[in-house]
Amino acid sequence: MTEEQQPEVLPIIAGVDFRFKYPAGVYMSKCLHELKENAKFLGIQCPKCKAIWWPPQVVCSYCHAETGTNWVELGPRGTVVNWVVVHIPSIDPRTGELKTSQPPAAVIRLDGPEGGGANWLHFLEETDLEKIKKGMRVEAVFKPKEEREGQASDVLFFRTVEE
């Protein structure tokens, strides 16, 4: 077939619209419930190797022991260990809408018992890059109770605090 005779390529858009239900499960449900009702962070500690899991889960990923009911309270303060700023548009997974901006995203090490802790990916209130430092102390700012849904977004962001 010569180039002139090559057929036109016809693309088709095969869009799909799926709605799935994602179960949080027994352990995560409990922690989301605590966020909503009591503005508290409830993680779980492995009884064997003492690793703290946030979000809580049924077995320890490291040593595979059952976590049982070893609930531990975390936060509400923590330490910033890393951060980034998104400059490109991204898609909000809950609405499918294009998000053009979001606050700096940070990994915050939530305070835990006996000097331990657990990391969480969340937003910072501080948007000035000059003011964000590794090791800075932050505290969770919650939505007012009537607006909380039992989601990670019940925490609006983490605010810098002096200590």
Partner 1 sequence: MARFGRRVAVVGVGLSECGRSRPDVNKVELANESIRRCLDDAQLTMKDIDETVVADIDALFGIGQSQMWLTDDIAGYLKPGVKVETGGSIGGSACHSAVHHVAASASDVVLVTATSKGGGARGPIERFGAGARAQAAMTAGFHPIWDRWVFVGPLMLFAFMANDYLMWSGCTREAIAKCRVKAAQNAMKNPYAHLKREVTVEQVLNSPFVIWPLRLLEFCPMTQGSAAMIFASEEKAKKITDKPVWVEDIVTAHSKQYWTDAMVPVDWGSQEAGAVALWKRNGITNPWKEIDVFEMYDPSTWAEVIWMEWMHLCGKGEAWKLVDRGATEINGEFPLNPSGGVVSTNPGVPSTTIRYIEAALQVRGDAGEHQVPREVRRAVGHGFGGTNWNTYMLLSKDMP
Partner 2 sequence: MARRVAIVAVAQTKYDDLSQTNWKYNWEELLYQSVKPVLEETSLTFADDGTGIDASISCNDTIWMGSPFSAGKTDDVLGTHFRSGEKIDADGAMGVTEALWQIASGDFDIVIVGGINIDSAAPRNKVENYCFDPFYQRLMGLDMTSAGALQAQRYMYRYGITREQCARVVVKSRRNAKNNPYAFATEDLSAEDVLGSKMLAYPITALEIKPLVDGSCTMILAEEEKAKRITDKPIWIKGVKNCYDGYYLGDRDLSDCKSLEVAAQGAYQMAGITDPRKEIDVAEIGVDFSYHELLWCEGLGFCSRGEGGKLLDSGATEMGGETPVNPSGGALAGCPHTVEGLARIAEAVLQLQGEAGARQVPQAKTALAHATLGACGQWHQVMILGKEI
Interface with partner 1 (CB under 8 A) = 9, 11, 13-14, 16, 20, 22, 24, 28, 32, 55, 57, 61-62, 81-94, 98, 102, 105, 107, 119-123, 129, 134, 151-153
In the complex with partner 2, which residue's Cβ is closer, 22 or 146?
22
Closest separation in Å from C-beta 40 to partner 1: 17
Residue 161 as a binder of partner 2 (CB under 8 A): the answer is no
Cα–Cα dist 18/23, whole Å: 16
Q: What separation in angstroms does the CA of 154 have from each of 36, 37, 102?
A: 7, 10, 16
Under a CB-based contact definition with an 8 Å cutoff, are residues 52 and 72 in contact?
yes
Cα–Cα dist 112/130, whole Å: 28
Cα–Cα dist 131/157, whole Å: 16
Under a CB-based contact definition with an 8 Å cutoff, are residues 143 and 122 in contact?
no
User: Which one of 3, 4, 9, 20 is in contact with partner 2 (CB under 8 A)?
Assistant: 20
Residue 94 binding result from partner 1, partner 2, none, given CB thresholds of 5 to 8 Å by partner type? partner 1
CB count within 10 Å of CB 5 equals 6
Closest separation in Å from C-beta 2 to partner 1: 15
User: Which one of 1, 12, 98, 129 is in contact with partner 2 (CB under 8 A)?
Assistant: 12
Q: Rule CB under 8 A: which residues touch partner 2?
A: 12, 14, 16-28, 57-59, 61-62, 64
